[in-house]
């Protein structure tokens, strides 16, 4: 099998760079296309994605067979025209250039925000249709770009897939960490908007990069059963799942326990031995079986109901809606990508601030407790901040989007990514925060941003 030649578009950015590093680590041939060059270790093509000719030239010169498209302006600008130009027109230009140059694979970094319109989303899966009006111009442009990517699947041999990560953080991040540090420096960590009973999905950046490589690798795998379009007539009854399909939906998955540690239910054969007067003769076997690290959760049957996205009726419904494709293949699909460890919204910032405290002991008085501002107060303050920002011609410090974002549930079911892409988060939330704060400290103490404490 010939190896792909990769072009990471937006490869000078946060996520793009981690993808480049992972590709380099496994010995792949990779180039970068971006408007800025920040690294010198791979061939670089300078250009703007909204110019099809520039993308096309880079594809031709690099001999690309797989595009990973991560480019976008930052989410925090108030510039709908720029979002449209880069995200919508730029993505369409990439698709056209890919087809023009016979590129086979396109992996697109979408966003979980494409389905967010301000209302709470709890444990949602890919069946949820994106709203007509997403929360802001940035997510609207990502939604339109994603639509174009999925619609291009199968055109002239191009295979496409879109990944929807949520709340990416980690080394190299210039948005989340910088914002949290500013709050820390300004002494405002005791403010909380909303009641913090809302769950949010954060995703460590290397997990996101890992998902992109899996998607690229599996994009050209055939569906595990012939698609309905290959049959003479669309069946009215769902044909039974093939063995390959059964394997995908019933394979036992390991627990997501990177941060919380081992989940283990005691059984009669593996359990801690309680306070016996005379311990059972096999007590050491029982305890060591309980302590042993399990590599696979064999024997746990997967139980599904008809409400489950991977139940037979729902797989059939998805196939029926799009007879050209199967929800159990990668091409033409969207996937939520998260750490699979949703947590209360303010818990992650507090984890970051707590780690900053260990670096700067005494900087913060943590005895103050929290000043909890209800959501409506936050929205009022944000409105005032937006008006003031408009008057002085600057981006507002607080926006109604940010307030809404911090007060609602936004977490996602990643079972489809786990089963179809074979995605498992590699780094847990707590470990990821540690890595980000370590990186940040080195970066900011040796770089231009000196820390004065
Ligand atoms: P980033 O700003 O660090 O990287 C984006 C890169 O795209 C930059 O290097 C930038 O120079 C480049 N770029 C921008 N406009 C371009 C253009 N017209 N032509 C060529 N290159 C251009 O952003 P990131 O955080 O790495 O985000 C990567 C992708 O992930 C984006 O598509 C974003 O929408 C998506 N995403 C990010 C998050 C997050 O929390 N950071 C969450 C969900 C989805």
Burial class from Cβ neighbours inside 10 Å (0-12, 13-18, 19+) for residue 422 reads: middle
Extents of the domains making up the chain: 5-221+331-446, 252-301
For the annotated catalytic residues, the residue numbers are 142
Low-confidence ranges of the chain (pLDDT < 50): none
* pLDDT at site 289: 85
Ligand 1 within 6 A of 10 CB? Answer: yes
User: Count of CB atoms within 10 A of residue 79's CB?
Assistant: 14
Q: How far is the CA of 142 from the centre of ligand 1 (A)?
A: 11
Q: How far is the CA of 149 from the centre of ligand 1 (A)?
A: 16
Q: Give pLDDT tens digits for 148-187.
A: 999 999 999 999 999 999 999 999 998 899 889 989 988 8
* pLDDT at site 416: 97
Q: Give pLDDT tens digits for 431-453.
A: 999 999 999 988 877 875 555 55
What tokens appear for 261 in the block? 């540690």
Q: Which residues, including other chains, have CB under 8 Å from residue 40's CB and lie 6 or more apart? A: none
* pLDDT at site 217: 98
| HSE-CB for 199 with a 13 A CA cutoff | 14
Nearest ligand 1 atom to the CA of 138 is 34
Pocket test for ligand 1, best of 71, 74, 83, 86 (most atoms within 8 A of CB): 71
What tokens appear for 167 in the block? 């709340």
Q: How far is the CA of 73 from the centre of ligand 1 (A)?
A: 6
* pLDDT at site 72: 97
**pTM of the entire predicted model:** 0.92
* pLDDT at site 299: 57
For 5-221+331-446, CATH gives: 3.40.50.720
Cα separation values, 67 from 21, 98, 393, 414, Å? 15, 8, 38, 24
């Amino acid at each position: 099998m010939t190896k792909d030649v990769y072009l990471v578009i937006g490869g000078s950015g946060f996520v793009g760079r981690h993808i480049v590093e992972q590709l380099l680590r496994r010995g792949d041939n990779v180039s970068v296309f971006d408007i800025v060059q920040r690294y010198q270790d791979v061939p670089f093509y300078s250009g703007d994605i909204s110019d099809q000719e520039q993308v096309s030239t880079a594809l031709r010169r690099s001999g690309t067979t797989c595009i990973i498209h991560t480019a976008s302006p930052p989410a925090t600008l108030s510039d709908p025209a720029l979002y449209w130009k880069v995200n919508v027109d730029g993505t369409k230009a990439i698709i056209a250039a890919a087809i023009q140059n016979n590129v086979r694979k396109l992996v697109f970094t979408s966003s979980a925000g494409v389905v967010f319109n301000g209302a709470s989303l709890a444990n949602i899966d890919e069946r949820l249709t994106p709203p007509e009006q997403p929360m802001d111009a940035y997510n609207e442009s990502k939604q339109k770009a994603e639509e174009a990517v999925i619609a291009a699947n199968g055109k002239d041999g191009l295979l496409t897939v879109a990944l929807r990560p949520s709340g990416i953080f980690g080394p190299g991040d210039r948005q989340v960490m910088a914002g949290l540090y500013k709050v820390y420096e300004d002494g405002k960590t005791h403010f909380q908007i909303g009641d913090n009973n809302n769950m949010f999905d954060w995703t460590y950046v290397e997990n996101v990069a890992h998902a992109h490589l899996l998607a690229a690798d599996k994009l050209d795998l055939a569906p595990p059963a012939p698609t309905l379009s290959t049959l003479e007539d669309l069946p009215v009854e769902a044909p039974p799942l093939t063995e390959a399909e059964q394997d995908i939906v019933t394979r036992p998955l390991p627990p997501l326990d990177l941060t919380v540690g081992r989940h283990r239910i005691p059984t009669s054969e593996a359990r801690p031995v309680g306070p016996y007067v005379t311990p059972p003769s096999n007590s050491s076997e029982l305890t060591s079986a309980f302590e042993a690290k399990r590599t696979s959760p064999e024997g746990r049957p997967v139980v599904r109901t008809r409400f489950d996205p991977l139940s037979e009726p729902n797989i059939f419904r998805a196939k029926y809606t799009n007879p050209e494709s199967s929800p159990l293949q990668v091409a033409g699909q969207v996937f939520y990508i998260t750490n699979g460890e949703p947590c209360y919204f303010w818990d992650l910032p507090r984890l970051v601030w707590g780690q900053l405290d260990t670096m700067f002991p005494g900087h913060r008085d943590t005895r103050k407790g929290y000043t909890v501002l209800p959501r409506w107060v936050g929205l009022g303050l944000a409105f005032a901040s937006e008006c003031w920002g408009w008057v002085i011609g600057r981006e507002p410090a607080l926006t109604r989007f940010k307030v809404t974002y911090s007060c609602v549930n936004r977490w996602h079911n990643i079972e489809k990514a786990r089963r179809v892409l074979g995605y498992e988060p590699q780094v847990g939330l707590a470990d990821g925060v540690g890595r980000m704060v370590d990186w940040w400290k080195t970066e900011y103490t040796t770089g231009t941003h000196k820390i004065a404490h």
